[in-house]
Amino acid sequence: MTSRILRAADGREVRAETLPRRAESAATGRRIVRATLQDWALGDLVDAAELVVTELLANAAQHARCDSVRLTVRRTEDDGVHVAVTDRSHQVPVLRLPGPAAQAGRGLAIVDRLAERWGHDPLPWGKRVWAELKGPS
Nearest CA among 38, 58, 57, 59 for reference residue 47: 38
Question: Using 50, 70 and 90 to split pLDDT, how confident is the model at 20?
Answer: very high
- Map out the domains of the chain with their CATH numbers: 2-133 (3.30.565.10)
> How many Cα atoms sit within 13 Å of 128 on the Cβ side?
12
Instruction: Specify the 3-state DSSP secondary structure of 124.
Output: coil
Instruction: Specify the 3-state DSSP secondary structure of 89.
Output: coil
Instruction: Specify the 3-state DSSP secondary structure of 55.
Output: helix
Q: Say what the pTM is.
A: 0.88
Question: How far apart (Å, rounded) are the C-alpha atoms in residues 96 and 99?
Answer: 10
Q: Say whether pLDDT at 97 is over 90.
A: no
Chain-centre distance for alpha carbon 70: 9
